[in-house]
Structure 1
């Protein structure tokens, strides 16, 4: 299978250009071969660098994969501010769909949810990645609460998990097509749950349950 991430290229020498080529080649090899068959030699050949040059910076394939993933996710991802929660969430969901169905996204899935995902370094990178996504999304929820579009006790983390869940389910479990309509459905589900109070923080949920129980007595 051919990948648009990085094709075998002419030698690129050392420095930042070489490092970028190696990282792109690592993701491309992940996509084409999977972690089990990824080799340092294969990455070097695809990147157009000698393997001895590669070994000066990366000691093995695990360090290659971790570094390539960390660099990819270090890229700043702007959060939408459209003035309405529905269009903000649509932008987030569509961005996730586009990211995860492209060549880089498929390579990232291979790394995260294959044998590579069991590496302690990759597991830690995954934890940091999702923590960062939740942190970045918090202002989107805060602005929606200020505009009166969501309940005041809406939990940003639970909201983003709910938004992403239908997309990841199709990508990783059911293998159903992930299309623009998938993002729209995820937004409808998330807004319905949030406005019903189902995505409140843990303490708020407990208070609501206690109040409901008291009312039934």
Structure 2
């Protein structure tokens, strides 16, 4: 007998099964935003999604399995990178996208819950790292293009630049609770742009 080695929820079928996945992940995200990872009950997820408990337990197995697939789905459906022809404008678009996401009443709480869960659950931590790796990969061409245009040194580390944009915004979400307004997003983008121009993100 072949052993099932697929990741929970990792199949990508279409039709009814795809609609079930969408409903289940929406319900899981709602519960995470409302109550956090510690109270993510697959049975309640099933009830909210309008599907059988056996469906959820068979496909996702555990709360961590639900979170892993939710993060996969979020990475797949996130907005694509900007392409303005300017490093400053690209980073400003990135900062405003992050700020918009973290300010959203549901999404902000959802990310806070996911980050908190990742500190204690290895499966969630791995899934969260994969999510951010996917997003950094999506936006890396912005920095590579800026280097090609001569705006920044060719050896600039794209991920360091992008992390410098997002870090102040997540700090406000998770630590100070200060507003993540457009001024904050603009300041984060401007600071990262100036630092990149100065060569601070080179090896």
TM range (shorter): 0.7 to 0.9
Q: Distance in 2 between matches of 1:25 and 1:154?
A: 41
- Report the Cα offset of residue 153 of structure 1: 2.9
Matched, 1:107 2:146: no
Q: Name stretches of at least 5 consecutive residues in structure 1 with no aligned partner.
A: 1-13, 203-217
> What secondary structure, in the 3-state scheme, does the structure 1 residue paired with 2:37 have?
coil
CA contact (8 A) 2:42 2:63 kept: yes
CA contact (8 A) 1:69 1:108 kept: no
Could you say which structure has the greater relative contact order, defined with CA pairs below 8 angstroms and 6 or more residues apart? 2
CA contact (8 A) 2:75 2:134 kept: no
- Report the Cα offset of residue 137 of structure 1: 2.2
CA contact (8 A) 1:27 1:108 kept: no
Q: Give the TM-score of the pair, scaled to structure 1.
A: 0.79
CA contact (8 A) 1:35 1:116 kept: no
Cα 1:77–1:156, aligned 2, differ >3 Å: closer, same or farther? Answer: same
Q: Distance in 2 between matches of 1:19 and 1:183?
A: 34
Q: Distance in 1 between matches of 2:98 and 2:62?
A: 30
Q: Name stretches of at least 5 consecutive residues in structure 2 with no aligned partner.
A: 1-15
Match of 2:188 in 1: 186
Q: Give the TM-score of the pair, scaled to structure 2.
A: 0.84
Match of 1:84 in 2: 86
1:146 to 145, 148, 164: 148
Aligned Cα root-mean-square deviation (Å)? 1.8
Following superposition of structure 1 onto structure 2, how do residues 45-194 of structure 1 map, counting pairs within 5 Å?
Answer: 45-75=47-77, 77-102=79-104, 103-111=106-114, 113-194=115-196
Size of the aligned set, in residue pairs, is 187
